[in-house]
Structure 1
Amino acid sequence: MPANRYFQLDVFTHRPGGGNPLGVVVGADDWSDSAMQAFAAWTNIVETTFLLSPSTPAASYRLRIFTPTREIAFAGHPSIGSAHVALQSGFAGAHDGVLIQECQAGLLPIRVEGQASERRLSIQAPKASVLKTGVDSRSLLGTTLSKIRLGALPPAFVEGGRRWWLAEFAEEWALRAWHPDHAAIKKIALDSDSLGLCVFARSSDPGYDIALRAFPAGVGIVEDPASGAANGLVAAYIAAAEPDGPLARGYTVSQGREIGHDARLDIRIDADAAVWVGGQTQTVIEGEVDWPCR
């Protein structure tokens, strides 16, 4: 049973302990689906990924992403962290400052800027579409948000690699102090085949422009300390709704303080509305994993 290199990371942070944990197994081409799922369940990290040889010459590598209970097509922090490992381990190299990730959501470019501890990676989020805006006050989502003063944009149901309900709060303090009904969010997620609810508020803090909280109850997570996919959908929604607004070309996000983290995510929005979500990654553990691959 040959060993594979294994990394444990903290993603979207300038220091260990501030971001979102991730486990990455390198070169797992001979691992079965069941072995990957079993290992992801054993690590019990929000997501564990497996770096594989690409199936197309256009890709730098292929990536599979697992929660402890199932495989998912795309997620932001696993993509950023896995690209970090691909570069650090020599599994793949960037060409003209870009890696191409192959995953179930397609071929996704990742921009590489800087070197070593200063390196910042940004992934182009899957194209998003707004499926619905507004909320019926009598619905479960409506009652969940009934005591919140909402912001400029109406709540929305948005899809792009993943599905999320989004809601803007009018004040950052209310967002940070909110104690949501997690059982209600889980029912909302399951009824709509979505991850759950992501809420955000604009900020006057000089260190960031938006504070954000994500509750992916649809996959059994109470609150996510740093969510690339959710941030990508929020960015796409803002850019579409406010094309001439101050955030339409990008901004900085603070996430995770309410659960003891302090993640920072950089959002860039191109003129063609392509959304890039990025930040720094810290390697915390590097070693080998011995696991039955069949």
Structure 2
Amino acid sequence: MQVDVFSARPFSGNPVAVVLDGTGLSAEQMQEVARWTNLSETTFVLAPTTEEADYLLRIFTPQAELPFAGHPTLGSARAWLEAGGTPRRGGRIVQECGAGLVTVRRQGEDLAFAAPPRIRVGGLDDAYRERITAALGIRREQVLDHQWVDNGPGWAVVQLATAREVLDLEPDLSLIPEAMVGAIGAHPVGGEYRYEMRTFAPGAGVAEDPACGSMSAGVAQWLTASGAAPAAYRVSQGSRVGRDASISVSADGDGTVWVGGDTSVLIRGTIAL
């Protein structure tokens, strides 16, 4: 299946290709398929290796395998449910992946994943921050804050003052070919969205991701824990690449961050492997 994630309007979110039975495929074969689909991610559903999980998911960009990614997690859960999958724990799906076990909660037709722990946190070092600002074409003083928000893919983020500054970025990614980096900025108070976000992933072979759940998760853990963001908000993403993505974020009292959005299966078929 091919699933559109983070948009209620078809063909406006971030698509993920889901191979519902990856049994017997080698990592090399999976990577070959991911290069061919040329989407930001392609996933392969396999039998879990632990009784706690409903399935094992392997996630590939056109260039490499990732231990975790957000929109593929939601899109694969939607495809698995549509194919007749039944969670072992009622309204909770448990995905096994390189980052461990990730819970996806189901409330009606809505899906949201629990943000996995970050494996790298803290501010960026001066040299890397300088490279990022140069690549994004901004001045050092435009960066209000910065942080590693890495939950597997390698994300770092810079915070700008406004959504407009984020939307106006014209990055030169040749200056940071290995980077996985995002930029966020606030929308005016009282609007539909709290933040505008853009994510650039040249290190994974994706220039600009239309909608990024893993970046949203790491950013939300950072901002809600510090009190810089409310416990629930929405993020807009994708307009610079012709998409209209909406990402919902909420933090429970225990600190668990949930990231969700609309998911819809737009392609069903078979693939010859």
Query: Under a length normalisation based on structure 2, what TM-score does the superposition of the two structures give?
Result: 0.92
Structure 2, unmatched stretches of 5+, are none
Over alpha carbons, which structure has the higher Rg? 1
Cα offsets for 1:128-175 (capped at 9, x unmatched): 2523257469832344464375365x1122322232221111121121
Residue 42 of structure 1, aligned match among 6, 25, 36? 36
SS at match of 2:50: coil
Conserved 8 A contact 1:40-1:68 = yes
Indicate yes or no: 2:114 matched with 1:124.
yes
Query: Please, which moves more after superposition, 17-26 or 233-242?
Result: 233-242
CA-to-aligned-CA distance 1:52-77 (integer Å, 9 cap, x gap)? 11111111111111112221110000
Q: Find the aligned partners of 2:30 and 2:86 in 1 and give their Cα distance.
A: 21
Question: Counterparts in 2 of 1:184-263, with a 5 A limit?
Answer: 184-186=175-177, 189=179, 196-204=180-188, 206-242=191-227, 245=228, 247-263=229-245
TM-score by length of 1: 0.85
RMSD: 2.0
CA distance in 2: counterparts of 1:137 and 1:259, whole angstroms: 26
Structure 1 unaligned spans of 5+ = 1-6, 190-195
Q: CA deviation at 1:45?
A: 1.5
C-alpha separation between the residues in 1 aligned to 2:86 and 2:35?
26
Segment drifting more, 102-111 vs 269-278: 269-278
Choose 86-95 or 227-236, whichever is displaced more: 86-95
CA deviation string 1:95-149 (max 9, x = no partner): 23110001111011101011xxxx1111111112523257469832344464375
Matching residue within 130, 142, 150 for 1:150: 142
Query: Percent same amino acid among aligned pairs?
Result: 36
What is the aligned length? 270
Cα offsets for 1:218-243 (capped at 9, x unmatched): 1121100000111111111112322x
1:166 matched to which residue of 2? 157
List aligned pairs for 1:1-294, cutoff 5 A.
7-93=1-87, 95-114=89-108, 119-128=109-118, 129-133=120-124, 135=126, 139-144=130-135, 146-147=138-139, 150=142, 152=144, 154-186=145-177, 189=179, 196-204=180-188, 206-242=191-227, 245=228, 247-291=229-273
| Secondary structure of 2:150's aligned partner | strand
Task: Using the TM superposition, name which of 204-213 and 78-87 deviates more.
Answer: 204-213
8 Å Cα contact 1:23-1:49 kept in structure 2: yes
The separation in 2 between residues aligned to 1:54 and 1:92, in whole angstroms, is 14
**C-alpha spacing 1:236/1:108, structure 2 compared with 1 (3 Å):** same
Report the AA paired with residue 239 of structure 2. R
What SS does the corresponding residue of 1:186 show, helix, strand or coil? coil
| Distance (whole Å) between structure 1 residues aligned to residue 103 and residue 85 of structure 2 | 16
